[in-house]
Amino acid sequence: MEKQYVVGIDIGGQTSKLGVMDARGDVLAQTIIRTDTFGSDADAYVAALAEAVKTCINQAGKTPEAIRGIGVGVPNGNYYTGEVAFAPNLAWAADKSVFLAKMLSEAVGGMPVSLTNDANAAAVGEMTYGAARGMKNFIMITLGTGVGSGIVVDGKVLYGHDGFAGELGHTSVMRQNGRLCGCGKTGCLEAYCSAIGIARTAREWLEASGQPTPLREIENITSKDIYDAAKQGDNFSLRLFDYTGTLLGRSFADFIAFSAPEAIVLFGGLARAKEFLYEPMLKAMNDNVLKIWKGKVKIVFSQLKESDAAILGASALAWEL
Amino acid sequence: MEKQYVVGIDIGGQTSKLGVMDARGDVLAQTIIRTDTFGSDADAYVAALAEAVKTCINQAGKTPEAIRGIGVGVPNGNYYTGEVAFAPNLAWAADKSVFLAKMLSEAVGGMPVSLTNDANAAAVGEMTYGAARGMKNFIMITLGTGVGSGIVVDGKVLYGHDGFAGELGHTSVMRQNGRLCGCGKTGCLEAYCSAIGIARTAREWLEASGQPTPLREIENITSKDIYDAAKQGDNFSLRLFDYTGTLLGRSFADFIAFSAPEAIVLFGGLARAKEFLYEPMLKAMNDNVLKIWKGKVKIVFSQLKESDAAILGASALAWEL
């Protein structure tokens, strides 16, 4: 009998989402486990993940024999080696390399496991099922807690010499006096244009100016608070999105000079603020590209449900096994 | 009879170099014509180039029937379309698109012509015959009058959606108050780290400081003057290279986050100042990459004679015809 199903896993800082899928991307069963309750104990996390995989296959009414393999999207995941290396948001891989693909495969009785970083997985998902269908050259930018990226060239994810290509969240937007990023460097795109980044900008601006804004009443400002305030017409919050969009657009201009994509595809929590980010982003991008690209590169937003894109993308990896 | 030879053409702002080569890269005949004496008349330039091709084949003792095709490396050249588009340093293509591959092919009696930008051609040359032999993932940076780039991913030049990928000379090194670049944008790498860029830095610094330096005696400072002064131990000139190398290294760090190359390969006139650029470049690069890449990516210098690399690279294109 042909192996007709795959498991897709999206590992995030807080939760890990799993799904069993058929070749059309239809989800037969789905489950979620915590990622952040295992401290630095990678073995314990992998054991829990393996259990969840088995349960999920069971819930789908299938046997392990019907499963072709497991695809995993995970921050700082390496496609070539199957390792997760120095991932600041994963306590069990924050200061070391964890060979997750091998460990998980062994824990589920030898089922093959393919792994890549979460943004690459999302790019594959978007190319197979979403906004990038039919595109051969695009750059996926995930605007979540951090900023991730997956670069697709001629229909294939760019992995580079060592498998770690596509870390555009850690390119520079501020060469001087840049903010400290979670990675240890300063001035990274992620330190400004992630959900956490825009909240940091808000706090800096609140201290520096006396402009009235409902954000002053909030103790721990999140990007969601800023979005809600902008929705109410709060000028301070609208300026925050304008600034963040402008920084993103400038960075996109540099990315275009690299791989000349057909489109930049945006995904993740902060990308939901499309209505406030799109115009400044597009303007800054077109203001900073060479003449040959002005007005030519699209900025599009993911068409997949966030929870689905990464699992679907991860599952697409498994079909290649 | 098999077609055993190819013609390689390297088109620069001032001169165009041609060679007839065999499969090992041995040059049977070589010639040079001016590029800059035709004003905006692209037809006149192509006619002269076609004549030179015929003469060169003749000088090699071959007939057109023995020639497989012609490969061309040219600034702003597009591999997909065979056009040269808005090339600031080529008067006959400065403000328009010239379909050079088609025009040249017709002018030489239908011989097939393949064309790409000069830095891509140099990258192919370096991969086939030079410092990048055996490498599948590297970035070629040409430090000449301008700054060009050729990006190799999995052994192939990255062309992108439209064929114009790899314009890293026009990524930003200075987000605020950046210098005007020849391309019309501000703050481009090329405006600081080309032969012209370092000379501009020298003039700016001379105006701003009273530091003694032999450069003060020179009317039109060139990068060669700065190199010569640095060789004599001139502190001002050494600082110029230090600054330029630092800017380059910071940019390299961003490029690495994109395609995770095995090496950055440097080529062109300014790259001859290796002894002064290498240390600051390497330090700035390693200071600005993610932990996973620290100390891992090499900076290597071209091993080919400058005049040869581009012709050899262009000729390699022709073998694919």
Q: Which residues are within 8 A (CB) of B132 and not within 5 positions of it... i.e. 6 or more apart? A: B123, B126, B138, B140, B152, B263, B265, B300
CA distance A108 to A111: 6
Place of tokens 């003694």: B212
Tokens representing residue B48 in the block: 């002269």
Give the torsion sign (CA, A286, A290, A294, A299): negative
Across the interface, which of B137, B138, B161 has its CB nearest the CB of A260? B161
CA distance A201 to A219: 15
B315: enclosing H helix or E strand: helix B306-319
Q: What is the CA radius of gyration of chain B?
A: 20
**pTM recorded for the entire structure:** 0.91
Beta strands in chain A, from DSSP E residues, in sequence order? 5-11, 15-21, 27-34, 67-73, 84-85, 97-98, 113-116, 138-143, 147-153, 156-157, 263-267, 298-301
Residue A166: closest C-alpha in chain B: B258
List, for residues A249-259, the tens digit of each pLDDT value.
Answer: 999 999 999 99
With an 8 Å Cβ cutoff, is A180 touching chain B? no
**Cβ contact (<8 Å) for B258 and A136?**
no
**Which residues between 62 and 101 in chain A have a beta carbon less than 8 angstroms from any beta carbon of chain B?**
76, 85-86
Sheet holding B263-267, edge to edge: B156-157, B147-153, B138-143, B263-267, B298-301
With an 8 Å Cβ cutoff, is B136 touching chain A? yes
With an 8 Å Cβ cutoff, is A185 touching chain B? yes
Crossing angle for the helix pair A195-208 and A235-259, to the nearest 10 degrees = 130
Q: What is the DSSP string of B103-128?
A: HHHHHTTS--EEEE-HHHHHHHHHHH
List, for residues A4-40, the tens digit of each pLDDT value.
Answer: 999 999 998 889 999 999 988 889 999 999 999 999 9
Report yes or no: A94 and A85 within 8 Å, Cβ to Cβ: no
pLDDT band for B266, please (50, 70, 90 cuts): very high
pLDDT band for B30, please (50, 70, 90 cuts): very high
Check residue A262 and report its DSSP letter. S
Q: Minimal Cα–Cα distance from B219 to chain A, Å?
A: 32
With an 8 Å Cβ cutoff, is B47 touching chain A? no
Q: What is the pLDDT of residue B129?
A: 84
Q: What is the pLDDT of residue A145?
A: 85
Q: Minimal Cα–Cα distance from A298 to chain B, Å?
A: 12
What's the CA angle centered on B117, arms B116 and B120, to 5 degrees?
85
A307: enclosing H helix or E strand: helix A306-319
With an 8 Å Cβ cutoff, is B301 touching chain A? no
Q: Minimal Cα–Cα distance from B38 to chain A, Å?
A: 24
Report yes or no: A208 and A190 within 8 Å, Cβ to Cβ: no
β-pairing, A27-34 vs A67-73, is: unpaired
Q: What is the pLDDT of residue A227?
A: 98
**Cβ contact (<8 Å) for A260 and B292?**
no
Q: Minimal Cα–Cα distance from B288 to chain A, Å?
A: 7
Place of tokens 């902008």: A230
List alpha helices for A135-219, DSSP H.
189-193, 195-208
Lowest mean pLDDT among A122-136, A149-163, A286-300, B47-61: A122-136
Q: Minimal Cα–Cα distance from A39 to chain B, Å?
A: 22
Amino acid at B291: K
Average pLDDT over residues A133-153: 94
CA distance B280 to B242: 6
**Cβ contact (<8 Å) for A250 and B172?**
yes
Question: Which residues of B fall within a CB distance of 8 Å from A259?
Answer: 151, 158, 160, 165, 258
Check residue A23 and report its DSSP letter. T
CA distance B213 to B226: 10
Tokens representing residue A9 in the block: 């896993």
Choosing among B79, B117, B172, which should be mutated to test the A contact, i.e. which has the most A CBs within 10 A? B172
CA distance B198 to B66: 45
**Cβ contact (<8 Å) for A175 and B171?**
no
Tokens representing residue B14 in the block: 């001032």
Residue B259: closest C-alpha in chain A: A165
**Cβ contact (<8 Å) for A165 and B260?**
yes
CA distance B294 to A234: 43
**Cβ contact (<8 Å) for A175 and B170?**
no
Q: What is the pLDDT of residue B23?
A: 87
Closest CA to A113 of A63, A76, A77, A149: A77
Q: Minimal Cα–Cα distance from B200 to chain A, Å?
A: 20
List, for residues A198-237, the tens digit of each pLDDT value.
Answer: 999 999 999 999 999 999 999 999 999 999 999 999 999 9
Q: Inform me whether the pLDDT recorded for A307 exceeds 90.
A: no
Provide, rounded to the nearest whole percent, the portion of chain A with pLDDT above 90. 80
pLDDT band for B76, please (50, 70, 90 cuts): confident
3-state helix, strand, coil in chain B (%, to 5): 45, 20, 35
Q: What is the pLDDT of residue B145?
A: 85
CB-count exposure of residue A35 (10 Å: 0-12, 13-18, 19+): buried
Average pLDDT over residues B57-84: 94
Q: Minimal Cα–Cα distance from A253 to chain B, Å?
A: 8
Q: Is A234 or A2 the better-scoring residue by pLDDT?
A: A234
B31: enclosing H helix or E strand: strand B27-34
Across the interface, which of B162, B185, B253 has its CB nearest the CB of A260? B162
Phi, psi of A234 (to 5 degrees): -65, 120
Question: Which residues of A fall within a CB distance of 8 Å from B134?
Answer: none
With an 8 Å Cβ cutoff, is A158 touching chain B? yes
Q: Is B79 or A145 the better-scoring residue by pLDDT?
A: B79
Q: Inform me whether the pLDDT recorded for A192 exceeds 70.
A: yes
Closest CA to A170 of A227, A97, A87, A93: A87
